[in-house]
Amino acid sequence: MFDAGSTGFMLVCAMLVLLMTPGLAFFYGGLSLRKNVVNTMIMSFAVIGIVGVTWTVCGWSFAYGGDGSIPFFGGFDQIGLQGLVAGIVSEAPEALSHDAYPAMADVVFQLAFCMITTAIITGAVAGRVKFGAVCAFVAVWTVVVYPPLAHMVWGGEGSLVGDTIGALDFAGGDVVHISSGLTGLILCLIAGKRRGFGLVSYRPHNVPFVALGATLLWFGWFGFNAGSAFAANGTAGYAWVSTSAATAAAMLSWGFTEKIRSGHYTAMGAASGMVAGLVAITPAADVVSPLWAIVMGAIAGVLTCLACGLKFKFGYDDSLDVVGVHGVGGFTGTILIGFFGEGTGLLAGGDWKQLVVQLVIALVAILYSAVITAIIAFALEKTIGWRVTEAQEVGGIDLADQGERAYDFAGTASSVLKEVK
C-alpha cells in the first residue's frame, strides 16, 4: 500500500510544476510587444489544453508504458490510461504503488513536465505565426517527439539513454530544455524572421510581467527538481539546495555580464539569469555539490547571456530567446555534469567517461528533436502555413487571431471623459 506522505509530496510537486506554464505565460507576455501580448500568452494556455488531452490519450503510454523491450518507445498498453484505471479498480499493486505513491500521481507529474516543455517552444516564434499552426504543431509534437524522448532517458530498464548508455538527466536538461531549444531553433528557421528583425528594437513591453513570470517559474521549479526525487527524502532536499544555489549564481553572473556589455544591470536581465540558472541545474540537481552548483550557475549565466546575442550574428529570429536560454542552458548543464558530478565528473572524483556519456545524451536529444521537428514543421508549412499576413503582423496578432487587446487604453480614456462631462 502506498505511503500518504509520499503521495502528498508528489501531488504538491505536480501542482507546483503545473503552475510553471501559467508563469511562463506571464514571462513571455511581458517580453512580447504590446500588440501581441494576448496571442503570446494564450499559446501557453493552449498548450495546457492540448497536452492535457494528448498525454492522457497516448503520451503517457508512449513514454512510460510497455515492458521495457523497446529502448526508444514505451508501448500501447496504457492508451487512455486504461491499464492504470483497471489496476486501480482491481487494487493491483503495480497501479496502486509507484515507489510508495499511486502511479496516477506520476501521470499528473509527468503531464506537467510535457506541458512546460511544449510551452517553452512557443516563445521562439512569437509575434509572427498563426495560432492554429501552433496548436496543430503542439498536438503532433507531444505525441511523436516528447514521449519517445522521455522514454529514452527516463523509461527505466531497457531505455536507450538512461539505462543502456547510462547518461544522467535528473529532471530534464535534455528531455525538456535541449529538446525545446532545438525545436525552437528549427521553427525559427522554417517560419522565417519577423519583419524588421535586426533593424528595429523589440523591447519588452512589461518588465513587471517578466519579473512575476520568472518568480512563478522559480517557485514551481522546486516541484520540478525536488519532485524528481519521487519521494520526500534527502535527494529532494539536496536538489532543492543545489537549485537555489545555481539560480542565485546565474542571476548574478548574467547581471555582471550585462553590466560589462551594456553598462546596465536590468530587471529583465535578472529575471533571464534566474531562468538560465534553473535550466542549467535541472539535469544535475542531484549529483553536484552546492559549491559546484554555484559554479555551474555562474558559468551558465555568462554563456546564456552571450548566447542570446548570437541570433543577430547568425540571422535566426528567436523571438523570446528560447534557443539562448533553454537550448544553451540545457546543453551547458548536461555537459557540466561530466566535470562536476560527484564521484563521476572530471573535477569531482571521476574520469572522462561520464563526460563522453553526457555528450552522447545531448546529441541524441539534439538529433531526434531536430529531425522529427523539421518534418512536422515542413508539413505544416506546406499545408496550412506558419505565417500571419504582413498586415496582421504589423497591426498586431492579438486583434487578428484573438479579436481582443491586452490593454484597452481607448476605452479607458473614453470612460474617463464621460465621467468628467
Q: CA 254, CA 214: separation in Å to the nearest integer?
A: 14
Q: Is the dihedral of CA 217, 226, 364, 279 positive or negative?
A: positive
Query: What's 4-221+231-413's CATH class?
Result: mainly alpha
State the angle between helix axes of 207-226 and 234-262 in degrees (0 to 180), rounded to the nearest 10.
150
State the angle between helix axes of 290-307 and 328-340 in degrees (0 to 180), rounded to the nearest 10.
150
Which of the four pLDDT bands, split at 50, 70 and 90, describes residue 83?
confident
Q: CA 74, CA 62: separation in Å to the nearest integer?
A: 4
Please state the separation of Cα 3 from the chain's center in Å.
30
pLDDT of residue 81: 92
3-state secondary structure of 387: strand
pLDDT of residue 68: 86
State the cell numbers at 328. 544553451
* pLDDT one-digit tens code per residue, 249-263: 999 999 999 999 999
Mean local confidence (pLDDT), 216-245: 96
With pLDDT > 90 as the criterion, what percentage of the chain qualifies?
A: 83
pLDDT exceeds 70 at position 205: yes
Q: CA 196, CA 96: separation in Å to the nearest integer?
A: 56
Those residues whose C-beta lies under 8 Å from the C-beta of residue 303, and which sit 6 or more positions away, are 328, 329, 332
Q: CA 222, CA 188: separation in Å to the nearest integer?
A: 30
* pLDDT one-digit tens code per residue, 22-66: 999 999 999 999 999 999 999 999 999 999 999 999 999 999 999
State the cell numbers at 305. 547571456
Which of the four pLDDT bands, split at 50, 70 and 90, describes residue 417?
very low
Which of the four pLDDT bands, split at 50, 70 and 90, describes residue 94?
very low
Continuous H helices in 32-130: 37-54, 60-64, 82-89, 93-96, 103-122
Instruction: Give residue 373's identity as a one-letter amino acid code.
Output: T
Find, among 242, 222, 220, 243, the residue nearest to 232 by Cα: 222
Instruction: Give residue 171's identity as a one-letter amino acid code.
Output: A
